[in-house]
Amino acid sequence: MTKPQFTKSKTPMLLEMYIEIDDFCKSDPVIFQMWSTNRRGPSPKLSLGEVMTILVYYHHQSYKNFKSYYTEYVSKQLRSDFPDLVSYNRFVELIPRSFLPLCLYLNHRCSRSKHTGIYYIDSAPWPVCHPKRAHQHKVMRGFAQWGKTSVGWFFGLKYHLVTNQLGELMNFYISAGNVSDANIKVLFLLTKDLKGWLFGDKGYLLKDYKRDFLQKEGLLQIFSKCRKNMAKRSVPLEPSLWIGKRGIIESVIDITKNQCDSAHSRHRSPFNAFANLLAGLAAYTFRPKKPTTKIKLEARLLPQPNSLELAA
């Protein structure tokens, strides 16, 4: 198989993606064997690293339609980078086979994020169709469920994200639309490797037994704003300042939705839909500029007298 000859000055982001994704695919012999062996049909000309690179790189472009992206951009402008390109229909057939490797690769990207001790958690709806067409929707049947957000009802799924204050993706989880943000199973899978402070919105108000289970004997502390009809809990100064910066994860979700186009409702296969979401989240991790936040604790403290004033 011919290895793509990338032009570094032309597509530096594409070169970076391909090198890392291809090295990851070759590092795991199980993934490589799953891709190379197929009981039906000929073996694909494209390698797994090339297919995953094309999928992830799509979310860095301005295209909102994958067919236009593949036929107008990849097939014409990236022909020299991918000499073994297949037809669009054949490429769509290969996407479901990249679903599991994309999931493993996104976990790999999340594991490389910095453990800063300050994390934010939130979920985003993933509608699979208009609510009025939910009764006749067939593509995501068995996966999608009715869910409700602050703006109303939707029919689809949800993806849960955890980031640090640097905007780096720490963990992710995909669930049905009717799964609560405070679901103990989801929270355990999202926070099992975290230590420090975790900030969420009012949907993450937990009962005491759930909070004690997740906090792992004080290794992880969960903070969330109280509702109007609840007695306010005393929160230390520094965590109370960090919780006010919770909008950073809203910015991350907005980027994954609108700029990376990770979740839309135009799919004809559930595996292709999940692969598109995973590729969009992976594309976000490659962004050079991510939303970040910080606090200046010194500005919130009282001025301290200097040594001369103390001596006087």
Residue 3 confidence (pLDDT):
52
Residue type, 286: F
Distances, alpha carbon 46 to alpha carbons 106, 208, 260, in Å: 21, 52, 24
Q: What is the mean pLDDT of residues 290-305?
A: 70
Assigned fold of 115-265: Nucleotidyltransferase; domain 5 (3.30.420)
213 or 297, which is more confident: 213
133 or 302, which is more confident: 133
Can you say whether the dihedral through the CA atoms of 241, 242, 244, 245 is positive or negative?
Answer: positive
Mean pLDDT of the chain: 85
pLDDT tens column, 46-104:
889 999 999 999 999 888 889 999 999 999 999 888 988 999 999 998 998 899 999 99
- Chain centre distance of CA 310: 53
Distances, alpha carbon 130 to alpha carbons 136, 176, 226, 248, 265, in Å: 10, 16, 33, 28, 9
pLDDT tens column, 97-116:
899 999 999 999 999 999 99
Residue 7 confidence (pLDDT):
45
Q: What is the mean pLDDT of residues 127-135?
A: 91
pLDDT tens column, 257-267:
988 888 877 78
pLDDT tens column, 136-187:
999 998 899 999 988 899 999 999 999 999 999 999 999 999 999 999 999 9
The closest of 48, 46, 59 to 21, measured between CA atoms, is 48
The closest of 220, 184, 231, 233 to 204, measured between CA atoms, is 184
Give residue limits of the domains in the chain: 12-106, 115-265
Residue 9 confidence (pLDDT):
37
pLDDT tens column, 178-229:
999 999 999 999 999 999 999 999 889 888 888 888 988 889 999 988 777 6
The closest of 14, 23, 187, 12 to 101, measured between CA atoms, is 23
